[in-house]
A and B are shown apart, each in its own frame.
Chain A
Amino acid sequence: GAGVSQSPSNKVTEKGKDVELRCDPISGHTALYWYRQSLGQGLEFLIYFQGNSAPDKSGLPSDRFSAERTGGSVSTLTIQRTQQEDSAVYLCASSTRDPASEQFFGPGTRLTVL
């Protein structure tokens, strides 16, 4: 497909379990971003990958959150020992390297922690 894809679309897990969320960016996009959207809230930046540079992890809320990007393409966001406050929609976006180029968002993964 031509857009950013994310999987799964919905994930329900129990408190304390680990979850992995996947993002497939648009082909050729070197920048990839993860954001979190909590109910009724705006979008909160989590982490940013740009090519082979060290990722900007400044938005990760705790050390339970981590992300990796393999081969400059697919990214996985991992949340360890999930808590109820982790329940949110996790959005991935990608863009080209051009300054301030449009970020294209995927449909998100809705995570529910029981």
Chain B
Amino acid sequence: QQQVKQSPQSLIVQKGGISIINCAYENTAFDYFPWYQQFPGKGPALLIAIRPDVSEKKEGRFTISFNKSAKQFSLHIMDSQPGDSATYFCAAVRGFQKLVFGTGTRLLVSP
């Protein structure tokens, strides 16, 4: 019930391409779905987040698509850049409670 499944584990995309990372959750009580970006040696930083009452949220080159009936959400990075190379974690949370993280996707954007 608390699990968040994330795929792929790693991803290589050419500069200018679209990076897509997928997550699926089980607990329908989750009410907030953030994505975190983590660079080596740093803590995760919030990238973008969505609530289940909307199907899509876009911030710059980053878009979250949310499918409530399928209990799935995904991150799309448009025009991927080498500076986007990092590990991305999806997460889910209910209210004030702890974040439940996916296992992470290591993205490499080749020049």
| Distance between Cα atoms of A4 and B42 in the complex (Å) | 12
Pair A45/B99 contact, Cβ less than 8 Å: yes
- Closest approach, in angstroms, between the C-beta of B86 and any C-beta of chain A? 14
Neighbour of B97 across the interface among A56, A105, A107, CB < 8 A: A56
- Closest approach, in angstroms, between the C-beta of B18 and any C-beta of chain A? 24
Which residues in window 74-111 of B have CB below 8 A to A?
89, 93, 95-104
Pair B102/A107 contact, Cβ less than 8 Å: no
Nearest-CB residue, chain A, relative to B94:
A100
Size bracket of the A interface: 20 to 34
The yes or no answer to A102 lying at the interface (CB within 8 A) is yes
Q: Which residues of B contact A44 (CB under 8 A)?
A: 101
Q: Which residues of A contact B31 (CB under 8 A)?
A: 99-100
Neighbour of B96 across the interface among A31, A91, A105, CB < 8 A: A31
Q: Which residues of A contact B51 (CB under 8 A)?
A: 100
The yes or no answer to B60 lying at the interface (CB within 8 A) is no
Nearest-CB residue, chain A, relative to B95:
A99
Nearest-CB residue, chain A, relative to B91:
A43
- Closest approach, in angstroms, between the C-beta of B104 and any C-beta of chain A? 5
Which residues in window 35-76 of B have CB below 8 A to A?
36, 41-46, 49, 51
Pair B104/A42 contact, Cβ less than 8 Å: yes
The yes or no answer to A27 lying at the interface (CB within 8 A) is no
The yes or no answer to A106 lying at the interface (CB within 8 A) is yes
A-B contact pairs, 25 of them (CB 8 A): A33-B99, A41-B103, A41-B104, A42-B89, A42-B102, A42-B103, A43-B89, A43-B99, A45-B98, A45-B99, A48-B98, A50-B96, A56-B98, A99-B32, A99-B95, A99-B96, A100-B32, A100-B93, A100-B95, A100-B96, A102-B49, A104-B46, A105-B44, A106-B43, A107-B43
